[in-house]
């Protein structure tokens, strides 16, 4: 896959995984939103912090039929990028890792990230994409073969109909990271709120909507709104399967079908966002990462043409995650 030209020469695109760069077309079926490691004060008692158990859970996702995932745990929330790389190497599941931030509620009072200027945040996030993450002791994070572990997506988060000072800095830093490296921006939306407002804010910061994925749009099952967002070029992240207290899978499937019928198939992604110890089979919970490929996607497949199903589960993710190799150059 190519991404534009440089001096008349096509620029090769890559997807940056924790084990190195791969061709976008080789990524395969994608779960666009999961967490192998995560610790947050908002999820006390639901920590994901065991490499062996998270590795088993990742293996179940692969066994269920997904070939790749995005680990959406950003900076400061207990991510373990070296362990994630080891899990990817041992299971064969491709993992694209995020840098960036969540919303302020996920960081305890006094956390240094809460007051960090956007410029400094952006410097860190750009380095995570271009050179690689650094671990707690300051050394470069290394994959099992010794290569750097790098980010392939940058994240920001907003609260319910609220973009506070911290969230504004996070969006600014994410935008700077995207415009510098070419990587996509994932935005967590509380209950699917403020979708157009986020796109407007990022647009003023130089990020086109077609480099943005709006996570959790299915917390607001409004196909008309979703088609408006798709028409702007934004990617729509559907990651609510098995959250039946919020909406049954049938409602999500109905919404997905209506957006596809309205012409939005080229802007849709699916994920599980299982995200909690109590919901991971390997940690003793349920329904696990395997729910998406084993329970939800077969029902989606019945509703879509083969071409549209391939778009939603494979092609769209490869396009979104592709970044120009010349912009995100190796150190």
User: 51-64 and 81-91 are packed helices; what angle lies between their axes, rounded to 10 degrees?
Assistant: 40
Residues 6+ apart with CB under 8 A from 147: 19, 20
Binding residues: 33, 35, 155, 188, 216, 273
CA 48 to chain CA centroid, nearest Å? 17
Burial grade of 280 (CB within 10 A; 0-12, 13-18, 19 or more):
buried
User: 165-181 and 195-204 are packed helices; what angle lies between their axes, rounded to 10 degrees?
Assistant: 60
Per DSSP (E only), the strands in the chain are: 2-6, 9-17, 20-22, 30-34, 68-71, 94-100, 153-158, 184-189, 212-215, 235-238, 268-270, 323-324
Strand pairing category for 20-22 and 30-34: unpaired
Binding residues for Zn(2+): 33, 35, 155, 188, 216, 273
């Amino acid at each position: 896959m190519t991404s534009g030209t440089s001096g008349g020469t096509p620029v090769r695109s890559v997807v940056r995984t924790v084990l190195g760069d791969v061709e976008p077309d080789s990524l395969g079926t994608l779960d666009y939103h999961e967490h192998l490691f995560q610790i947050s004060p908002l999820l006390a008692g639901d920590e994901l912090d065991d490499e062996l158990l998270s590795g088993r859970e990742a293996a179940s996702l692969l066994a269920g039929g997904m070939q790749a995932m995005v680990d959406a745990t950003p900076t400061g929330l207990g991510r373990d990028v070296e362990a994630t790389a080891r899990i990817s190497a041992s299971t064969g599941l491709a993992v694209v890792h995020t840098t960036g931030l969540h919303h302020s509620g996920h960081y305890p009072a006094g956390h240094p990230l809460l007051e960090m200027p956007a410029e400094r945040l952006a410097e860190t996030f750009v380095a995570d994409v271009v050179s690689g993450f650094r671990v707690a002791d300051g050394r470069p994070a290394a994959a099992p073969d010794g290569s750097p572990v790098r980010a392939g997506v940058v994240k920001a988060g907003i609260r319910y109909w609220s973009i506070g000072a911290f969230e504004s800095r996070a969006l600014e830093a994410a935008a700077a990271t995207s415009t510098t490296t070419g990587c996509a921006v994932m935005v967590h939306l509380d209950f699917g709120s403020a979708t157009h407002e986020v796109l407007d804010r990022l647009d003023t910061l130089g990020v086109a909507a077609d480099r943005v994925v709006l996570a959790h749009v299915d917390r607001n099952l409004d196909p008309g709104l979703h088609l408006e967002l798709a028409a702007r070029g934004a990617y729509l992240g559907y990651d609510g399967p098995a959250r039946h207290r919020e909406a049954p899978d049938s409602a999500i499937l109905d919404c997905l079908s209506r957006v596809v019928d309205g012409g939005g198939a080229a802007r849709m992604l699916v994920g599980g966002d299982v995200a909690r110890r109590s919901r991971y089979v390997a940690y003793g919970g349920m329904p696990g990462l395997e729910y998406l490929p084993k329970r939800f996607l077969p029902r989606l497949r019945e509703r879509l043409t083969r071409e549209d199903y391939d778009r939603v589960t494979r092609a769209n993710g490869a396009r979104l995650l592709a970044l120009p190799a010349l912009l995100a150059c190796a150190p």
